[in-house]
């Protein structure tokens, strides 16, 4: 392949370490997500958090959603299997409330999200299947497109041994009738390797009407050929999940385990499948990688939306979706002004389609005839370029840009056609400076500026669900005239590492225009104005003898820049998050990890009249090996503290306001046995 074609067609699984880059100047951790290719962590001008396999095995976590709580800069709600409600993730004040996603999830370089909303199921990925998690904090549109306005979570799944076999079986049981069985088998022999894993989980739920079950299987195989390697990955899953809905603040205070009968039919059921095939050329003047992927889903969801206290509109949505993507990217090392430089370039092409209909659901759970039907599609085309230049041994400069074109189309049952095409440029520039002796781990300073965007979701644009207007008619909350959100970010940071300690601190300022949210004045989604996101993120991790302490602290201020709520914290965004914990090897061969988490400064409304309850949540893991067996005991919310996950406020018919909340996780325990060979 010529250098030109290699630059144009290589893998968008750019997080793959198969694309080589110059080795770091000192012995340090190599990351791939920050620049869509391998780079020394101390040399990238970006805020990055990492969890290694060693970290993951120590944490009281069963899924990726659980792990997010240990990544500075990110916060996840409804992480446990027994929560019922689907997980919701926020980063730097960007929070979609279960309607849209602001953090892009990638698994082995392939984006994973539902076409209509961009939402990812963070509990679908098992912690036992993860080799490494890398998190890019802050807007990542210059490399990853519109769904990365809040950040990027990149998951690298576990591989197979180069030779021989490895197997693992695990079974657990815990509070709220929750049980899990999972296992994996991997084998490698010379040029070939493969791994298959599966899981089955069920729960009665920590609240009434919060039960569910899920089964999934994933398989991957790789085989080496002269000059590169092929990888084929397959996955399938089936899920059934009940949703207990919200409670008034008074109801949650008296009995957080209950569920309002208005939500007694709410549930989500789906079947999913995916396939990805990639090739990485590891030799030659232009190493490249190309990946082709496809996914499909069939499912239904019954959802009750509160219109005013005590009155809900209930509907069933049957939805089929499908999608495909071709991702390519390449690396080329060269000289610029006599200094070492590298150019990365890539191409992404994808298409998503959906077809669905709504039916009314009566007070007995019976489904009526179709009320509304629509089909839609979203086609994407993107090009990105990233250039770095080592001005000196201590100074590294990077600059990049990405161009996106998004074409949307929707056809309603009445034959009405709606279309929208949007384009965006997302530039980025940064500099990294290392201080101190380069022969040891130096202090690293960075600064970067970037521009990012977030396109409205297909549901925000075209969702045909009809809501009653109490005057004999209906209305929809979707809005085909929505404009993309635009964000400009300035970010600075510093980090220092030694053999026993790692410290980092980051400060940022992001100004967002054309913010998309539900506008109560029009009862539709709208571009309601601008917001300002400012914050500081700090974290520390170390080792003191047998102890491995860690801590992080985040300050986040997210305010409307105009209107009556200007200067107030946006709803459901915590102003402060403090996480701290310690792991230790204790007598008798036991390993213990204790982690505490406290959020503060959250509100159920943008006027900040209704604060959400905050409490210290303490989680503990105790484990011990017995030959090939490992016994684990996980204890969540050990003190049984009362807290609220998220909240909202509804007006009543008397001119007042009623706050609603989703109660936080209750105290729970789980006992597990793992067998490894």
Residue 10 has pLDDT above 50, yes or no: no
CATH number of domain containing 265:
2.40.170.20
Give the model's pLDDT for residue 211. Answer: 96
DSSP string, 326-345: EEEEEEEEEEETTEEEEEEE
Q: DSSP 3-state assignment of 42?
A: helix
Cβ neighbours of residue 324 under 8 Å, at least 6 residues apart?
292, 293, 294, 295, 350, 351
Q: d(Cα 357, Cα 360) in Å, to the nearest integer?
A: 10
User: Quick one: tokens of 410?
Assistant: 């929707």
Q: Report pLDDT digits (tens) over 165-175.
A: 999 999 999 99
Give the model's pLDDT for residue 434. Answer: 93
Residue 260 has pLDDT above 70, yes or no: yes
- Please report which confidence band the pLDDT of residue 16 belongs to, taking 50, 70 and 90 as the band edges: very low
Give the model's pLDDT for residue 413. Answer: 62
Q: Which of 255-269, 276-290, 331-345 has the highest mean pLDDT?
A: 255-269
- Please report which confidence band the pLDDT of residue 27 belongs to, taking 50, 70 and 90 as the band edges: very low
Domain of 466, in residue numbers = 3-676
Tokens 């022969």: give the residue.
439
Range in 57-66, 108-117, 262-271, 465-474 the model is least confident about: 465-474
Residue 187 and residue 161 in contact, taking contact as beta carbons nearer than 8 Å: yes
Nearest to 130 by CA among 109, 159, 87: 159
Give the model's pLDDT for residue 6. Answer: 36
Tokens 């520039």: give the residue.
429
Q: d(Cα 277, Cα 288) in Å, to the nearest integer?
A: 14
Give the model's pLDDT for residue 28. Answer: 60
Q: Report pLDDT digits (tens) over 75-93.
A: 999 998 899 899 999 999 9
Q: d(Cα 630, Cα 165) in Å, to the nearest integer?
A: 19
Give the model's pLDDT for residue 128. Answer: 92
How crowded is residue 313: how many other Cβ atoms within 10 Å of its Cβ? 16
Residue 132 and residue 48 in contact, taking contact as beta carbons nearer than 8 Å: no
Residue 537 and residue 492 in contact, taking contact as beta carbons nearer than 8 Å: no
Give the model's pLDDT for residue 649. Answer: 94
- Please report which confidence band the pLDDT of residue 414 belongs to, taking 50, 70 and 90 as the band edges: low
Let me know how long the chain is. Answer: 677
Q: DSSP 3-state assignment of 498?
A: coil
Range in 156-165, 270-279, 376-385 the model is least confident about: 156-165
Residue 419 has pLDDT above 90, yes or no: no
User: Quick one: tokens of 231?
Assistant: 């990888």
Give the model's pLDDT for residue 72. Answer: 87
Cα distances (angstroms) measured from residue 349 to each of 143, 327, 346, 379: 14, 6, 10, 8
Q: Report pLDDT digits (tens) over 564-596.
A: 888 999 999 999 999 999 999 988 889 999 999
Tokens 């999934």: give the residue.
216
Mean per-residue pLDDT over the chain, rounded: 90
DSSP string, 377-420: EEEEEEEEEEEEEESSSSEEEEEEEEEEEEEEEEEETT--EEEE
Cα distances (angstroms) measured from residue 326 to each of 346, 400, 439, 622: 11, 21, 42, 44
Strands 178-189 and 163-174: antiparallel
Q: Count the domains in the chain.
A: 1
Cβ neighbours of residue 257 under 8 Å, at least 6 residues apart?
206, 207, 208, 663, 666
* Across 483-510, average pLDDT: 94
- What proportion of the chain, given as a percentage, has pLDDT over 70? 95
Residue 512 and residue 484 in contact, taking contact as beta carbons nearer than 8 Å: no
* Across 656-664, average pLDDT: 94
Q: d(Cα 163, Cα 10) in Å, to the nearest integer?
A: 29
Give the model's pLDDT for residue 9. Answer: 32
Q: d(Cα 245, Cα 85) in Å, to the nearest integer?
A: 7
Nearest to 91 by CA among 137, 34, 141: 137
Strand order in the sheet with 47-52: 47-52, 130-137, 151-157, 103-107, 110-111
Q: d(Cα 642, Cα 532) in Å, to the nearest integer?
A: 31
Element housing 452 (H / E): strand 443-454
User: Quick one: tokens of 339?
Assistant: 């200094």
* Across 20-48, average pLDDT: 73
**Cα atoms found within 13 Å of the Cα of residue 575, Cβ hemisphere only:** 14
Output DSSP code: residue 505. E
């Amino acid at each position: 392949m010529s250098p030109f074609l290699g630059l144009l067609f290589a893998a968008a699984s750019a997080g793959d370490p198969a694309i080589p880059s110059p080795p770091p100047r000192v012995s340090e951790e190599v990351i791939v997500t920050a620049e869509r290719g391998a780079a020394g962590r101390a040399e990238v001008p970006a805020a990055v958090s990492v969890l290694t396999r060693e970290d993951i095995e120590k944490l009281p976590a069963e899924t990726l959603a659980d792990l997010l709580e240990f990544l500075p800069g990110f916060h996840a709600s409804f992480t446990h299997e027994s929560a019922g409600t689907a997980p919701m993730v926020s980063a730097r004040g960007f929070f979609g409330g279960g309607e849209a996603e602001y953090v892009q999830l990638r698994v082995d370089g392939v984006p994973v999200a539902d076409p209509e909303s961009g939402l990812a199921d963070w509990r679908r990925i098992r912690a036992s299947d993860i080799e490494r998690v890398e998190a890019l904090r802050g807007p990542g549109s210059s490399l990853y497109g519109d769904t990365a306005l809040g950040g990027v979570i990149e998951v690298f799944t576990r591989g197979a041994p180069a030779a021989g076999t490895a197997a693992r079986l695990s079974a657990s049981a815990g509070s709220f009738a929750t049980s899990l069985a999972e296992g994996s088998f991997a084998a490698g022999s010379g040029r070939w390797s493969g791994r298959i894993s599966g899981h089955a989980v069920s729960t009665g739920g920590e609240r009434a009407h919060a039960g569910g079950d899920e089964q999934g299987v994933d398989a991957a195989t790789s085989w080496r050929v002269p000059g590169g390697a092929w990888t084929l990955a397959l996955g399938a899953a089936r899920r059934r999940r009940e949703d207990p809905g919200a409670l008034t603040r008074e109801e949650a205070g008296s009995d957080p385990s209950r569920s309002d009968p208005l939500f007694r039919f709410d549930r989500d059921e789906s079947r999913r499948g995916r396939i990805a095939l990639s090739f990485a050329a590891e030799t030659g003047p232009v190493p490249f990688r190309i990946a082709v992927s496809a996914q499909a889903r069939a499912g239904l969801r019954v959802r009750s939306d509160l219109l005013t206290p005590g009155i809900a509109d209930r509907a069933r949505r049957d939805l089929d979706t499908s999608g495909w993507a071709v991702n390519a990217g390449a690396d080329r090392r060269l000289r610029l002004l006599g200094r070492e430089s590298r150019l990365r370039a890539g191409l992404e092409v994808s298409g998503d389609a959906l077809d669905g209909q709504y039916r009314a659901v009566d007070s007995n759970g019976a489904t009526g005839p179709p009320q509304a039907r629509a089909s839609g599609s979203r086609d994407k085309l993107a090009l990105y370029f990233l250039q770095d230049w080592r001005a000196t041994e201590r100074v590294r400069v990077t600059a990049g840009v990405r161009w996106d074109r998004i074409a949307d189309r929707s056809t309603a049952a009445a034959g009405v056609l709606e279309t929208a095409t949007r384009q965006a440029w997302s530039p980025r520039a940064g500099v990294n400076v290392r201080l101190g002796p380069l022969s040891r781990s130096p202090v690293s300073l960075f600064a970067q500026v970037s521009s990012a965007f977030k396109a409205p979701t297909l549901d925000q644009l075209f969702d045909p669900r009809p809501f009653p207007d109490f005057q004999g008619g209906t209305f929809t909350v979707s809005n085909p005239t929505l404009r993309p959100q635009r964000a400009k970010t300035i970010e600075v940071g510093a980090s220092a590492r030694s053999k026993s300690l790692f410290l980092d601190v980051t400060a940022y300022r992001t100004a967002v225009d054309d913010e998309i949210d539900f506008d109560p004045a029009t009862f539709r989604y709208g571009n309601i104005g601008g917001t300002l996101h400012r914050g500081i993120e700090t974290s520390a991790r170390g080792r003191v003898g047998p102890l491995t302490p860690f801590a992080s602290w985040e300050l986040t201020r997210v305010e409307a820049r105009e209107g009556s709520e200007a200067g107030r914290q946006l709803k459901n965004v915590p102003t402060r998050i403090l996480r701290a914990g310690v792991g230790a090897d204790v007598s008798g061969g036991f390993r213990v990890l204790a982690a505490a988490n406290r959020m503060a400064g959250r509100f159920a409304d943008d006027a900040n009249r209704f604060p959400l309850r905050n409490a210290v949540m303490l989680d503990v893991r105790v484990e011990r090996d017995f030959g090939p067996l490992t016994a684990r005991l996980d204890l969540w919310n050990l003190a049984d503290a009362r807290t609220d996950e998220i909240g909202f406020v509804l007006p009543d018919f008397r001119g007042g306001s009623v706050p609603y909340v989703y109660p936080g996780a209750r105290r729970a325990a789980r006992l597990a046995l793992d067998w490894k060979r």
